[in-house]
Amino acid sequence: MQKFILTREDRIHTLLNFIAGKLSLSKKKAKQLLDHRRVFVNKKRIWIASYQLKEGDFIEIHEEETGSSTFQKKCRPVSR
């Protein structure tokens, strides 16, 4: 599972663009994560690609069961 907190530097994004950018994925692959209901924003399951993120939102992305290296984390860990 990967965790992110939306910061001012991230600007306001749609959920789809945020996932694609943070994980270095195509939008198609990012949309697949949403379609498989693997994304949570502020502990609520969100699958709408156009969902507008706000500064301070807590995003969790549950990885595929295969553990593919495609989903390796590219950001610093979040401590909670």
Residue 21 lies in a domain: yes
Residue 64 lies in a domain: yes
Q: Residue 25 half-sphere exposure, CB side, CA atoms within 13 Å?
A: 22
Residue 78 lies in a domain: no
Which two tokens mark 59?
Answer: 């995003």
> Tens-of-pLDDT digits for all 80 residues of the chain?
889 888 887 777 899 999 999 999 999 999 999 999 999 999 999 999 999 999 899 999 987 654 444 444 444 455 55
Determine the structural domain holding residue 27 and report its residue range: 2-71
C-alpha dihedral over 71, 59, 22, 54, to 10 degrees? 170
Quick check: 23 and 75 in contact, CB under 8 A? no
Number of folded domains that form the chain? 1
pLDDT (0 to 100) of residue 1: 84
Strands of 39-41's sheet in order across:
2-5, 58-61, 39-41, 44-45
Question: The domain spanning residue 7 has which CATH number?
Answer: 3.10.290.10
- Full-prediction pTM beyond 0.75? no
Quick check: 16 and 31 in contact, CB under 8 A? yes
